[in-house]
Amino acid sequence: MELARTIRSMPFTAMLGIVVIAVYAVVAIFAPLLAPYGEAEIVGAQFEPWGGAFLVGTDNLGRDMLSRLIWGARNTVGVALMTTVLAFLIGSIAGLLAAARRGWVDMILSRIVDILMAVPSLIFTLLALSALGPGVMNLIVVVAIMDSTRVFRLVRATAMNVMVMDYVEAAKLRGEGTWWIIRREVLPNITAPLIAEFGLRFCFAFLTISALSFLGLGLPPPLADWGGMVRDNASLISFGDTTPLLPAACIAVLTVAVNFVVDWLLHRASGLKD
Amino acid sequence: MTEPRKRHPLGRMIVQRLAIGVFTLFIISVLVFLAVSLLPGDIAQQILGQSATPETVAAMRRDLGLDQPLITRYFHWIGGVLQGDFGKSLANGRPVADLLATRLPNTLFLAAYAAVIAVPLSVLLGLLSAMWRGSWFDRGVNTLSLTAISFPEFFIAYILMYWLSVQWGWFPSMADPGSNPSLMDLVQKAFLPAMTLVLVVSAHMLRMTRAAVVNVLGAPYIAMARLKGVSKWRIITRHALPNALAPIINVIALNVAWLITGVVIVEVVFVYPGLGQLMVDSVTNRDMPVVQACALIFAAVYICINILADVLAIATNPRLLHPR
Amino acid sequence: MLLDIQNLKVEAKTDTGWTPILHGVDLQVNRGEVVGLIGESGAGKSTLGQAALGYAAPGLRFAGGKILFEGTDLLSMSDRLRNNFRGARVAYVAQSAAASFNPAWRLLEQFCEGPQIHGTATRKESEAFARELYAKMHLPDPNNFGLRFPHQVSGGQLQRAMVAMAMACKPDLIVFDEPTTALDVTTQIGVLASIRQAVQSLGTAAIYITHDLAVVAQMADRVKVMRDGREVEEAPTREMMAAPREDYTRSLWAVREFRRPERKLADDAPASIRVAGVTAGYGAIQVLKDVEFSIPKGATVAVVGESGSGKSTTARVITGLLPPQSGHIEMNGQVLPARLQDRSKDQLRQIQMIYQMADTALNPRQTIRQILSRPLGFYRGLSGKAQTERLHELMDQIELEPKKFLDRLPGELSGGQKQRIGIARALAADPEFIICDEVTSALDQLVAEGILRLLSRLQDETGVSYMFITHDIETVRAIADEVVVMRYGQVMDRGMKSMVLDPPRHPYTAELLASVPQPDPDWLTRRIAEGAA
């Protein structure tokens, strides 16, 4: 009943967002079944036009574009999701620790984050990747660390707001330990903003990884990956062929969908304050 | 005025901010330096290739100063940087400073071009949608800006390129300004990359400006002004803006980050010979001295702009301007 | 007639739509008359007061009725005309002057803004008028006072400056919305005197909104009692004070009748808690200086003082949240470790706390059962059937039906019920000693009295000792055996209630007592005559 009412009060944009996210999830999970050809399978000539055997043509090496778009959902979204989860683990554990312990723990963690945020994250990421070299693991770890700084700030700030509540003081006076207080008193009260933040961080990680792939520093070939596919086929644009826009649109549609849902979540959480 | 003047808190805070800024710059320079020095593998080996004899590698190491302790090497490096000597490119052996000299002005021009349009545009749009909160205008701007920040930068760039250049032919798709172009030439050639940046940066900036202004408009003194019979326009310009100035300045400075991120990608898309493209190429080739120099310059610009914003925000705070 | 509000309906925006908060209220104000609006929180007083300016706060809307000012309906006016009218003919004084002055403007600029936009006076004239009013309000250095920024002025002065600003255009009507609620009593009396003097000297009509009966008695010619967005009754002040017609009004009048007799304690009664020469503070700022008092077993000791007196800091030292710089805390004659972390579980169990804001004292995501069973399990290892039995016992003690309440969330309870849960949580630990931090000041008066009665009954049943932190003398009179008077972090006076208060022994206690408004319409006049303000 609660759910039904929530769905009815949902704006059109949020509903659309949820549907789109569901479609992407299905495509990513069932990619091997849905894709007509293999991920790296060369099936035709270079840059074959749309229609015929290849619904949206072939790419610069003669691989089926549609198949690669479908495999790309799995690779690009999967890597971005892993990155976000890692960023959340790092950011929220550090943030909760800083809020609960205060003092020097908070000092040190906050100063590290200040330093990491004192530079645009793409620049740091480029620097780190050039030092560490390419590779999926390096990519995930570097982007996750950069992304975790924002999670840290949000978790720390919201947890601090809860930590000053009298019910937390009551728990401290009772003699409860730090982790009990975090788990039972703090976490249940900050889940709403955290869920919205997860969406935002996913978008950020997803766009960053796509941008890096586009720059040739992301997922290594022959993995199908939307950012890299734009790069591989970019030259077609000058000939008036919109094929390279397809993978870019795949990225854009998903981030728009996630952002629509997050926007609605944030609006709901802020209640009537606005 | 017989008593000795007390130290002004404003001055003290500004000095404090500057000190923090200089310290941050120092830490960043150490990080940039370490990123290369802790690199797995040996630069000398890398330069000379696998076929080099141990003797030539050792000589190369001595030449590069790699046999010195880390701290000595850092101060040697940073000392050079401060005098404009960024070392030599590993890729072509040219002094990095020469590469920067041709690339940096191009990037600065592109960024300034975009900022000159994006800043007034987004502050105005943010202000208007905060004023008309909940109206169709607000909702339209919200949806559009949400869409724009959801698009990858290269998507926006290629869309603009496809329509404005390939289909309609209004602007060139390749943005190489060539040598000694006139200003009009530059404005025309860099139009598409600049527009891409404007779209990316404005979306972020106007959303944050709106949030800052909405926050100020919720303050009790705004309700008080309405109850005094102050007109809507005067409330915005006289009551809200002086208090929203500091947050807006911070928003602008913060969004320089998007400008820098955008510059890197946009330069690659439009083959614009700037610092961003240079950095991406060097990362691909692992040309570390160039990567270091580019990272340091981008970082320094961003940090300096943020210090400037902090100082301005402090200087517009009445509590600090007029202490008790 | 100056203002005539007829059958006014106002609605508030909620998740599901618009709910009415004013259900058709009338209000008439004649020229030069002061009408008091009184009621508990949520009565709709402020909404009605702001409606006199044709203003509905964000999230509210007018849903019917008329607001006639000299016969013109404010609701059917154009925005421009209404703006010309606001501030010029009707002015508003807000509760929090600190938040309601623009921080970026000097006070004088804000004073002159009204006359300037309404064109009622030249800049020179309004500056002169400002100085005149500042002088009348006893503000320091009235000639230069206006050159200050809001943050450079104290709370009481700022509130007076706001009254002066409201008068800048010489309006016909001023709405005072709880103008002294945020102030300490010794500051409040001066502001009340200034308001009354200013209103009388200009002959301005006023609507005076407050929840404090004693205050409205000083200020208003006529009083309207409100409850839940409806009028309860209206009558001339003296008439209503003498003979309220409605039961609800009578209950408001009668709330202060609970008086627990002071219990005489033997001089050598053992102390439950002793605060021994405590000096404490945050960093370089010293908040407590050599504080010394004790709380006898089974007794209630009230610690009174205004904001900044160090009452709450004392509580933090006792609980171990703030280790003292010197001195110590004793429990049952034994010195307690200074830091919370160094105390044993049993020592922690013995000292419990009840908070002012029940809203922030209970975790909104835990059910009442979870909240109450944690201390039972944590301290005494109770679980299963034994725990359920004790839970039911606790709920019975606080007079809430266990079946109905145990599985609710705090958000589903009223303010008084939440405060009872806070009491039960403290009792669940079987403590020796409970600190009650302003436990009644956020509650409406009837509810507050219920809480005081409950606490005193529980003390009789369990023999627990209370330290009662409060700024309200009436609460002290109602429940305390002994009193500690604090100011600037020092103990001014302490002893049996009768010795300290009746008559006041220390000059500061005397000032404190004399500043508390009495429900007697002549009280303020008398105090002014005595030279208090």
- Beta strand C60-69 with C72-73 is antiparallel
Residues in chain B: 324
The burial class, CB within 10 Å (0-12 / 13-18 / 19+), for C280 is buried
Residue contact C114–B319, C-beta within 8 A: no
Comparing alpha-carbon positions, the chain C residue that sits nearest to B324 is C152
pLDDT digits (tens, 9 = 90+) for B251-274: 888 888 888 888 999 999 888 889
Residue contact A119–B159, C-beta within 8 A: no
| Region B301-312 average pLDDT | 89
Q: Which top CATH class is A76-270? A: mainly alpha
pLDDT at A60: 75
Residue B198 has pLDDT above 90, yes or no: yes
Residue contact A170–C361, C-beta within 8 A: yes
Pick the CATH number of B98-321 from 1.10.3720.10, 3.30.565.10, 1.10.10.10, 3.30.1370.10: 1.10.3720.10
The 8-class DSSP code of residue A165 comes to S
Q: What angle do CA A185, A187, A189 make, to 5 degrees?
A: 75
pLDDT digits (tens, 9 = 90+) for B247-257: 899 888 888 88
Residue contact B166–A238, C-beta within 8 A: yes
Question: Does residue C237 sit in the same domain as residue C386?
Answer: no
In-domain check, residue C518? no
The 8-class DSSP code of residue C340 comes to G
Comparing alpha-carbon positions, the chain A residue that sits nearest to B27 is A115
The residue ranges of every structural domain in chain A are: 76-270
- The tally of CA atoms less than 13 A away on the side-chain side of residue A250 is 29
pLDDT digits (tens, 9 = 90+) for A7-60: 777 888 889 999 999 999 998 888 888 877 777 777 777 777 777 776 777 777
The interface predicted TM-score of the complex, written ipTM, equals: 0.85
**Helix H segments across B190-324?**
191-217, 220-227, 232-234, 241-254, 256-269, 275-285, 288-315, 318-321
Asked if the bond preceding B289 is cis, omega within 30° of 0, the reply is: no
CATH number at residue C69: 3.40.50.300
In-domain check, residue C508? no
> Which residue is it, tokens 């939440």?
C418
φ, ψ dihedrals at C470, nearest 5°? -160, 160
The burial class, CB within 10 Å (0-12 / 13-18 / 19+), for B74 is middle
| All residues at 6 or more sequence positions from C275 whose CB lies less than 8 Å from its CB, including other chains | C291, C292, C293, C294, C314, C317, C318, C327, C329
Question: Does residue C179 sit in the same domain as residue C275?
Answer: no
Question: Does residue C474 sit in the same domain as residue C334?
Answer: yes
- Beta strand C205-210 with C34-38 is parallel
Give the closest of C14, C321, C375 to A174, CB-based.
C375
Distance CA C106, CA C529 (A): 34
As a three-state string, the secondary structure of C366-394 is: CCHHHHHHHHHHHHHCCCHHHHHHHHHHH
The per-residue pLDDT of chain B, averaged, comes to 84
Task: Measure C428 CA to nearest chain B CA, in Å.
Answer: 42
Distance CA C167, CA C381 (A): 65
Those of residues 203-222 in A touching chain B at CB distance below 8 A are 203, 207, 210-211, 214-217
Q: Which residues of chain A have pLDDT under 70?
A: 1-2, 54, 269-274
> Which residue is it, tokens 């001089």?
C267
Helix axis angle, B96-131 to B191-217, nearest 10°: 40
Which residues of B are less than 8 Å from C55 in CB distance?
226-227
Distance CA C124, CA C304 (A): 47
Q: Walk along chain C (533 residues) in steps of 10 and give the mean pLDDT of each run.
A: 93 85 93 91 90 91 92 90 91 90 93 93 94 90 92 89 93 93 86 88 91 89 93 92 86 71 75 93 87 93 90 94 94 93 94 91 93 93 91 93 92 91 94 93 83 93 94 88 93 90 89 88 87 61
Distance CA B36, CA B291 (A): 9
Amino acid identity, residue C176?
F
The burial class, CB within 10 Å (0-12 / 13-18 / 19+), for B65 is exposed
Question: Does residue C153 sit in the same domain as residue C285?
Answer: no
pLDDT at B324: 65
pLDDT at B40: 56
The residue ranges of every structural domain in chain B are: 9-82, 98-321
Instruction: Give the C-alpha distances (Å, rounded to integers) separating A53 from A56, A64, A222, C283.
Output: 9, 9, 22, 77
Question: Does residue C234 sit in the same domain as residue C280?
Answer: no
pLDDT at A32: 84
How would residue B3 be classed by pLDDT, with cut points 50, 70 and 90? very low
For the CA atoms of A39, A45, A47, A53, the dihedral, rounded to the nearest 10 degrees, stands at: -70
- Beta strand C433-437 with C271-282 is unpaired
- Ordered strands of the C285-296 beta sheet: C285-296, C271-282, C326-331, C334-335
Comparing alpha-carbon positions, the chain B residue that sits nearest to C162 is B224
Residue contact A119–B150, C-beta within 8 A: no
Which residues of A are less than 8 Å from B147 in CB distance?
256, 259
pLDDT at C350: 94
Long-range contacts of B4-7 (CB under 8 A, 24+ apart): none
pLDDT at C112: 95
Those of residues 189-228 in B touching chain A at CB distance below 8 A are 214, 218
How would residue B175 be classed by pLDDT, with cut points 50, 70 and 90? low
Instruction: Give the C-alpha distances (Å, rounded to integers) separating C17 from C37, C55, C61.
Output: 28, 20, 12
Q: Are C99 and C80 in contact (CB under 8 A)?
A: no
Instruction: Give the C-alpha distances (Å, rounded to integers) separating C99 from B227, C174, C183, C417.
Output: 14, 19, 14, 32
A41 touches C at CB < 8 Å: no
Asked if the bond preceding C20 is cis, omega within 30° of 0, the reply is: no
Q: Which chains touch B (3 or more CB pairs under 8 A)?
A: A, C
Tokens of B143: 């949806």
Which residues of A are less than 8 Å from C348 in CB distance?
173-175
Number of domains within chain C: 2
C-alpha radius of gyration, chain B, whole number:
24
DSSP element (H, E) containing C511: helix C507-515
A12 touches B at CB < 8 Å: no
At residue C480, the 3 state secondary structure works out as coil
Which residues of C are less than 8 Å from B225 in CB distance?
102
pLDDT at A1: 57
Residue contact B227–C87, C-beta within 8 A: yes
Tokens of A119: 């530079």
The 8-class DSSP code of residue A241 comes to -
CB atoms near residue B38 (< 10 Å): 10
Q: Which of C227, C253, C279 is the last residue of a domain?
A: C253
Distance CA C235, CA C233 (A): 7
pLDDT at A270: 63
Q: Are B277 and B265 in contact (CB under 8 A)?
A: no
Amino acid identity, residue A257?
A
- What secondary structure does DSSP assign to B94-114, as a single string? -BHHHHHHHHHHHHHHHHHHH
| Region B242-246 average pLDDT | 89
Q: Are C103 and B220 in contact (CB under 8 A)?
A: no
Comparing alpha-carbon positions, the chain B residue that sits nearest to C95 is B220
Tokens of A224: 């199908």
Q: Are A244 and A234 in contact (CB under 8 A)?
A: yes
At residue C176, the 3 state secondary structure works out as strand
Tokens of B241: 């803006």
Range of the domain at C235: 3-253
| All residues at 6 or more sequence positions from C123 whose CB lies less than 8 Å from its CB, including other chains | C112, C115, C116
